[in-house]
Structure 1
Amino acid sequence: MQAIIVDDEPLALQRLERLLKEFNGIKIVKTFQDPRKALQYVSNQEIDIVFLDIDMPEVNGMMLADKLMQKKPDISLVFVTAYNEYAVEAFELNALDYVLKPVQKERLAKTLSRILKGEQKPKIKQEVIETKMLCLFQHISYTNPSIGTKKISWRTMKAQELFAYLVQNRGRTIHREALIDLLWPNSDLEKAIPHLHTTIYQIRSTIKKHGLAIRISYMDEGYRIEMEGMKLDIEEWEAGVRTLPRVSLETIEQHQALMKLYRGDYLAEHLYIWAEGERERLLFIWLEHAKQVASFFVQNEQYTEAILIYKQIQAKNPYLEDGYLGLMKVNAILGYQSKVIKEYQALMERFHFDLGIDPRKEVIIWYRNWLKSI
């Protein structure tokens, strides 16, 4: 098997090379002190295994491992590190094994035994299921035609929150210090970094376990998440709302399908403070769309459907007059006078007791005119 060694310490590199040459079945074809040269070499050569140090300047082992996996997903990585066992676990990124410095021949023998017996990590299957969709409405889950909707099981709450945060900032690199400030605000940087690496590893493991076409990369001292063939419900829904022609007899079924796709407010079950802005933005789009659909049903005398939507509007934003006014108008058409009065009273109580203000004049004027007409 073809292997290379990457370590910025010449003595450590020479020692590991000398030890590896004592074993049959593995050939050290090149050694590197510069991780960037190692990456360039691997890009153009068939290499089975990379032995790499973690603590290297400029491009550390974590960064190099990410870049190697991007270029050669089937390559096996063996970390050689001076970190203690807990820290090593934190840095375990798609690794076949890790070996502590100073490297001992007996320990190295165990690693090579696994390699030579064919116990490498399984090759990554190229089976991106394009029909899978990551869902962030209400809670984090994913859908697949064969299994329906399935929640994602997370090892820790920190892993779940970090994943959600990276997805919200998909396509952007978030500096590790910003992530630490978000999740471990009271920890010093030196202690928090291993926690961050452990959490990233847990996320990668969960993504792999569920077979999601999502990749997390490390670059510029930060992390970014890429949706590689995986759809996202909030993107599909928002694109549909913005591009679908106005509500009509020809498009109403498509608009209703979009209404169903909005299964609940964005990450509503998780209540992350940093998600509130996006939650409010998406809810505003939903409210505007819902009002259009409800208005269509009223115009077409489909009052039951209109009432259901106005009640949803009322439930999602009890301080928005539109839900109450819509219900009042529909009940007025149907001749349910007591229900009109009940909705108006509920609206006034909500605004007076909670906000200390009146609803907008349009609602009050409509109600007074209606009272005069009955």
Structure 2
Amino acid sequence: MTRAVIIDDEKPALELLANMLLRDGRIEVIGAFRKPSDALREIRSLKPDAVFLDMEMPGMNGVELALMLLEACGELDIIFVTAHTSYAVEAYKVEAVDYLLKPLIPEQLDRAVTRLQKKRMLRGAYEAAVRSIQPETRIIGFGGLRLLNTSGEEEEVKWRTSKTKELMSFLFLKGLSNVYKGQIVQALWPDCSDEQAQSNLHTTMYQLKKALKAAGIHIVIHFKSGKYRMELERTTGDVWEFETFISKNKVVDAANAMNVERVLELYTGDLFADSDYLWSISKREEMLSHYIKLSKRLCGFYMREGRTEEAIQRIGKLLQHAPLEEEAHELLLGLYFREKDRISLIRHYHAMKELLNHELGLEPRESVRQLYNDMLCQL
């Protein structure tokens, strides 16, 4: 039997609906509340399947409350009950099962309960199919947020708004960590009032869960004690792997050089390169700094091993992502000199000189110019 909660600030309306559902026989009423705050406090422990919700209550409308309830419980079907027809469009925002007009009559309640049961049956079949497959999802942050399936193909996620995608990016960066609601609203809506920011978060979180589900991506977002956390079973991420490896490998040697090369290949571009999230700027710079340092250490290992060609390739890739990294340019000049490749030495020096002048309005440092001239004289 479907378990439901009723929320209506008018006691007669609350009792009438409870009695009508009792007579219907397909719904077990496990809670009835006149105050939204009471319902929000108890909803997680009750774990209802559905909520019959009055659209107009003191201090909060039904859509706002519905979003908070969905945030707290995840899968929850909403049936709105109201005396006004003007809220139908608002009800669409949370994909309400039905929209009942007061005064209630048995026929419309029967229709709503029938719709509810059909929706729950279809959802159950879908979720069983998903559980039987359990595809792996890979989240890519370098170069721009993308979600890949088991075959490495990009899943087409229809982000309802740019903030929906930004919220996914923010949660991805936090990984398995708990994230306070206040951290999210401060990062994504710093210029909004607290009330508006909270409302934006509830709406955007609902849209995110809906978008992931529609794309067949099995990522669950939990909310408890004012904190969000992603459940990441069978989910991998390039940024997580990159950070984990960096933290555990401070030295490059023969034992880990191959893995260093593999990890550096994860860096396909700046973190969330296709979006200008203010909250991600410092993290983006940190990731680039790690990439540069690890690339140089690997290059140093290759040089010590006499593997000059591999060192040249690695520095070349580094300069694709950090074209103004002067030390990398100097390393590459030195490698061409080591290989006695005069043509590549000249070509790269002039390309570097043009780049510095175009981007920064500067000439190469005196020490670099002197180094270049000394190399030319010896070739």
Question: What TM-score, normalized to structure 1?
Answer: 0.79
Would you say the 8 A contact 1:90–1:195 is kept in 2? Answer: no
Q: Deviations over 1:167-211 (max 9, x none)?
A: 3466323458657747xx7x9999998876554333211212322
Residue 251 of structure 1: CA displacement? 1.0
Q: Tell me: CA distance 1:177–1:299, structure 2 relative to 1, closer, same or farther (3 Å).
A: closer
SS in 2 for 1:350: helix
**Cα distance in 1 for residues equivalent to 2:46 and 2:301:** 63
Residue 317 of structure 1: CA displacement? 1.7
Identity %: 22
- The equivalent of 2:151 in structure 1 is 147
- The equivalent of 1:9 in structure 2 is 10
- The equivalent of 2:179 in structure 1 is 172
- The equivalent of 1:122 in structure 2 is 123
Opposite residue 201 of structure 1, the aligned amino acid is Y
Q: Tell me: CA distance 1:271–1:48, structure 2 relative to 1, closer, same or farther (3 Å).
A: closer
Opposite residue 214 of structure 1, the aligned amino acid is V
Residue 258 of structure 1: CA displacement? 0.4
Would you say the 8 A contact 2:67–2:203 is kept in 1? Answer: no
Opposite residue 317 of structure 2, the aligned amino acid is Q
Alignment of 1:68-217 (within 5 A): 68-69=73-74, 76-80=77-81, 84-92=87-95, 97-102=97-102, 104-105=104-105, 106-116=107-117, 119-120=120-121, 122-123=123-124, 124=127, 127=131, 129=134, 131-144=136-149, 146-158=150-162, 159-168=164-173, 171-175=178-182, 178=186, 181=189, 198-209=203-214, 210-215=216-221, 217=223
Would you say the 8 A contact 2:7–2:53 is kept in 1? Answer: yes
Gaps of at least 5 residues in structure 2 are: none
**Cα distance in 1 for residues equivalent to 2:367 and 2:10:** 76
Opposite residue 110 of structure 2, the aligned amino acid is A
Q: Deviations over 1:295-340 (max 9, x none)?
A: 2222222222212211122221221112321221111111111221
Question: What TM-score, normalized to structure 2?
Answer: 0.78
Q: Tell me: CA distance 1:178–1:248, structure 2 relative to 1, closer, same or farther (3 Å).
A: closer
Q: Tell me: CA distance 1:53–1:68, structure 2 relative to 1, closer, same or farther (3 Å).
A: farther
Residue 129 of structure 1: CA displacement? 5.0
**Cα distance in 1 for residues equivalent to 2:305 and 2:93:** 61
Number of aligned positions between the proteins: 361
Richer in helix (by share) = 2
Residue 55 of structure 1: CA displacement? 5.9
Would you say the 8 A contact 1:54–1:61 is kept in 2? Answer: no
Gaps of at least 5 residues in structure 1 are: none
Deviates more, 1:260-269 or 1:128-137: 128-137
**Cα distance in 2 for residues equivalent to 1:373 and 1:36:** 81
